[in-house]
Amino acid sequence: MIPFNKPYLTGKEAHYLYQAVLSGKISGDGIFTKKCHSFFEERYGFQKSLLTTSCTDALEMAAILVNIEPGDEVIAPSYTFVSTVNAFVLRGAKIVFVDCLPDHPNMDVSQIEALITKKTKVIIPVHYAGIACDMAGIMDLAAKYGLFVVEDAAQAIDSYFNGKPLGSIGHLAGFSFHETKNIISGEGGMLAINDSGMTERAEIIREKGTNRSQFFRGEVDKYSWVDIGSSFLPSDIIAAFLFAQLEHLEDIQGKRKEIWNLYEKELRPLSVYGVQLPYFPEYAVNNAHMFYLVCNSIDERTSLIQLLRDNGILSVFHYLSLHKSTFYSEKHDGRDLPETDRYADCLVRLPLFYELETEQIFKITDVILGFYHNRFSA
């Protein structure tokens, strides 16, 4: 079976884990955590980076930092992972869902302004497949109406909007280092802070609501409970694993882009069958997080996934429409989101990982091309 994903090891992970253990400090904010923070701040220009145990935790910190209260409204896509909005629902927010673009699963920015009310506090752009949302349009709306922007950049490491790193544009951003992402630590995430006024409080929230970080830097003579918070910081063992990956970022990205480009070259003929391939606006780049196809119907997708499985290839669909979910359907305002539903029914993701071999890619593309040739010539 060709798996959908296989975590890639650079060879340094175990060595750095050993170093972290020998350092005598394997709890949070050890030597490797600091190395990771410096890497992100220097490479991508984030004002402050804070590793977390997951992107979910980073988003939950963001919800606290922007002071979400019961009754506040948050605009977000329905085609996303539940963590994107659950982090804000936990603070009492009402989610106002926006539909996707016809040519890409990112949120349709042209629909946002009509959804803004006096209760709106945050816009959450999700950079699906690592492809940038229209951040210029989003930031213009945020400035016009006095809103916060929290980028869900879970899939967007090393991706850009008009040359600016994703995660560095909004007030806050969450990243994921789950084993399915380009750069991994098994489980793990990061909060990027681009509003300097939030930095001090972010450290406090991450440390259970205490000013412990300031105490260890010698800025206060004792630490105490000063705000709400939780235990969001990861062990330095996780950071050690992550740093081994970051040292090989260029190699990992280069290999993933080679695989992505081969997929695109081989599957380009599918457009004649009405199959939608990934689209990149002029302002976006490809960080090779994902290669997906959008089939013509849910039945077509189901048949394709089954044929791939029959040939020893594991492909998977992605999100279900959150506005139709068991938990939130009755809270949704009733608007139809047709593009969201289309992607939920029709999108299929293909295997993409560092060690995916060329002959395996050809096997995958041959099965897909054969499927459509047989389906449309019958």
Same domain for 225 and 295, yes or no, is no
pLDDT in tens, 150-167: 999 999 999 999 999 999
- 173 lies in some domain: yes
| Structure confidence by residue, pLDDT tens digits, 100-123 | 999 999 999 999 999 999 999 999
Give the percent of the chain with pLDDT over 90.
Answer: 96
Domain co-membership, 179 together with 78: yes
- Three-class SS of the chain: CECCCCCCCCCCHHHHHHHHHHCCCCCCCCHHHHHHHHHHHHHHCCCEEEEECCHHHHHHHHHHHCCCCCCCEEEEECCCCHHHHHHHHCCCCEEEEECEECCEEEECHHHCHHHCCCCEEEECCECHHHCCCCHHHHHHHHHHHCCEEEEECCCCCCCEECCEECCCCCCEEEEECECCCCCCCECCEEEEECCHHHHHHHHHHHECCECHHHHHCCCCCCCCECCCCCECCCCHHHHHHHHHHHCCHHHHHHHHHHHHHHHHHHHHHHHHHCCECCCCCCCECCCCCCCEEECCCHHHHHHHHHHHHHCCECCECCCCCHHHCCCCCCCCCCCCCHHHHHHHHHEEECCCCCCCCHHHHHHHHHHHHHHHHHHHHC
Whether residues 23 and 99 share a domain: the answer is: yes
Q: Are residues 115 and 210 in the same domain?
A: yes
Same domain, 175 and 260: no
Same domain, 24 and 152: yes
Note whether residue 96 is domain-resident. Answer: yes
Chosen domain end from 230, 246, 262: 246
Q: Which of 246, 262, 295 is the last residue of a domain?
A: 246
The verdict on 130 and 25 lying in the same domain is: yes
Mean pLDDT of 11-21: 97
Res 217 pLDDT > 90: no
Per residue in 63-102, pLDDT (tens digit) is: 999 999 999 999 999 999 999 999 999 999 999 999 999 9
Domain count, the chain: 2
Q: Which residue has the higher pLDDT, 365 or 218?
A: 365
- 378 pLDDT above the threshold of 70: no
Q: Is residue 35 domain-shared with residue 126, that is, in the same domain?
A: yes
Q: Verify that 147 and 259 share a domain, yes or no.
A: no
Does 4 map to a domain? Answer: no
The mean pLDDT of the chain is 97
Residues 110 and 161 in one domain: yes
pLDDT of residue 93: 98
Residue 5 resides in a domain: no
Residues 283 and 358 both lie in one domain? yes
Residue percentage of the chain with pLDDT more than 70 = 100
Q: Do the domain assignments include residue 365?
A: yes
Residues 45 and 109 in one domain: yes
The CATH number for 290's domain is 3.90.1150.10
Domain that holds residue 365: 249-377
Q: What is the CATH number of the domain that holds 170?
A: 3.40.640.10
Final residue before a domain boundary, out of 212, 246, 280: 246
